[in-house]
Amino acid sequence: MKLISRFGRFAPLVLAFLLILSGCNTNSSALNPVGKNAKMQADLMLLSLGIMLLVILAVMVIFFYVIIRFRKRKDDDSIPEQVEGNTKLEIIWTVIPIILIIIIAIPTVYQVFVLADDRPSASEIDKENAIRIKVTAHQYWWQFEYPDLGIQTATDLYVPTGKKVYVELTSKDVIHSFWVPTLFGKQDANPGLVNRMWFEVPKEGVYLGQCAELCGASHALMDFSVVALSPDKFEAWKKEMKKGADEPKTAEAKQGRKIFKQQCLRCHAIGKNGGNVGPNLAAYGERTMISGILEYNKKNLKNWILNAPKYKADILMPSFSDGSGAKLTEQQADALAEYLMQQKTGIELPQQ
Amino acid sequence: MDWITTVDHKKIGILYLMSGFLFFLFGGIEAILIRVQLAVPENDFLSGEIYNQIVTMHGTTMIFLAVMPAIFGLMNAIVPLQIGARDVAFPFMNAVSFWMFFFGGVLLNCSWFLGGAPAAGWTAYAPLSDIYEGLGMDFYVLGLQIAGAGTLMGGINFLVTIVNMRAPGLTWMRLPMFTWSIFITSVLILFAFPALTIGLFLLFFDRLFGGNFFDPSAGGNPIIWEHIFWIFGHPEVYILILPAFGILSDVISQHSRKRIFGYTSMVLALVLIGFLAFMVWAHHMFTVGLGPVANSVFAIMTMAIAIPTGVKIFNWLFTLWGGQIRFTTANLFALGFIPTFVMGGTTGVMLAVVTADFQFHDSYFVVAHFHYVIVGGLVFGLFAGIYHWWPKIFGRFLNETIGKWNFWLFFIGFHLTFFPQHFLGLMGMPRRNFTYPAELGWGDMNFISSIGAAFMGVATILFTWNIVVTSIKGEKAKGDAWYGDGRTLEWSISSPAPEYNFAQTPLVKEFDAFWAEKRNGNDRVTPAEPLGEIHMPNNSIIPIIMSFGAFIAGFGFIFSAENKSSLFVAAFGLAIMFGSMLVHSLYDDHGHHLIPDELKQKESKRKGAEA
Ligand code: HEM
Ligand SMILES: [Cu+2]
pLDDT tens-digit profile of A64-106?
Answer: 999 999 999 888 888 898 988 899 999 999 999 999 999 999 9
Burial A219-233 (b: 16+ CB within 10 A, else e): bbbbbbbbbbbeeeb
Residue B2: pLDDT band by 50, 70, 90 thresholds?
confident
Task: Indicate whether this model's pTM tops 0.90.
Answer: yes
Neighbours of A123 (CB within 10 A): 9
- Nearest CB partner across the interface for B355, out of A44, A59, A213: A44
> Which residues have CB under 8 Å from B366's CB, separation 6+?
B351, B360, B425, B431
Q: State how far the Cα of A179 lies from the Cα of A188, in Å rounded to an integer.
A: 9
Q: State how far the Cα of B421 lies from the Cα of B431, in Å rounded to an integer.
A: 10
Best of B56, B128, B335 to disrupt the A interface by mutation (most A CBs within 10 Å)?
Answer: B128
CA-based nearest residue to B372, from B445, B307, B364, B583: B364
Question: Cα dist. A352→A205, A287, A313, B333, B437 in Å?
Answer: 6, 12, 27, 48, 16
Residues in chain A: 352
CB contact under 8 A, B358 and A174: no
Burial B354-371 (b: 16+ CB within 10 A, else e): bbbbbbbbbbbbbbbbbb
Ligand 2 center from residue A225 Cα (angstroms): 14
Predicted local distance difference test score (pLDDT) of residue B603: 67
In chain B, % helix, strand, coil (3-state, to 5) comes to 70, 0, 25
Nearest residue in chain B measured CA to CA from A28? B428
Surface of B (266-295) touching A: CB under 8 A: 287-289, 291-292, 295
Neighbours of B586 (CB within 10 A): 7
The Cα of A67 is separated from the nearest Cα of chain B by a number of Å equal to 7
DSSP 8-class letter at A249:
-
Ligand nearest to the CA of A177: 2
Dmax (CA) of chain B: 78
Ligand nearest to the CA of A315: 2
Is pLDDT of B598 > 70? no
Q: What is the DSSP string of A65-101?
A: HHHHHTBPPTT--PPPP-----HHHHHHHHHHHHHHH
> Which residues have CB under 8 Å from B60's CB, separation 6+?
B108, B118, B122, B140, B144
Residue A193: pLDDT band by 50, 70, 90 thresholds?
very high
Looking at residues B31-60, what average pLDDT do you find? 96
Predicted local distance difference test score (pLDDT) of residue B611: 54
Looking at residues B19-35, what average pLDDT do you find? 97
Predicted local distance difference test score (pLDDT) of residue A326: 78
Contact residues of ligand 1, CB 6 A cut-off: B 123, 237, 240-241, 283-284, 286, 302, 305-306, 309, 345, 348-349, 351-352, 357, 360-362, 366, 369-370, 373-374, 377-378
Is pLDDT of A52 > 60? yes
Residue B190: pLDDT band by 50, 70, 90 thresholds?
very high
Mean pLDDT for chain B?
A: 94
Ligand 2 center from residue A174 Cα (angstroms): 8
Q: State how far the Cα of B68 lies from the Cα of A251, in Å rounded to an integer.
A: 67
Q: State how far the Cα of A344 lies from the Cα of A281, in Å rounded to an integer.
A: 10
Q: What is the pLDDT of residues B322-335, one digit of tens each?
A: 999 999 999 999 99
Helix B177-209, helix B542-560: angle, nearest 10? 30
Residue A26: pLDDT band by 50, 70, 90 thresholds?
low
The secondary structure element, H or E, covering residue A124 is helix A122-126
Handedness of CA B247, B248, B254, B255 (dihedral sign): positive
Residues in B closer than 8 angstroms to A183, CB to CB, are none
DSSP 8-class letter at B512:
S
Ligand 2 center from residue A154 Cα (angstroms): 14
What is the phi-psi region of residue A156: left when phi exceeds 0, alpha when psi lies from -120 to 50, beta otherwise?
beta
Q: What is the pLDDT of residues B453-483, one digit of tens each?
A: 999 999 999 999 999 999 998 999 999 999 9
Is pLDDT of B54 > 90? yes
Is pLDDT of A12 > 70? no
Looking at residues B174-198, what average pLDDT do you find? 97
Ligand nearest to the CA of B306: 1
B223 and chain A in contact, CB less than 8 A: yes
Helix B177-209, helix B263-276: angle, nearest 10? 10
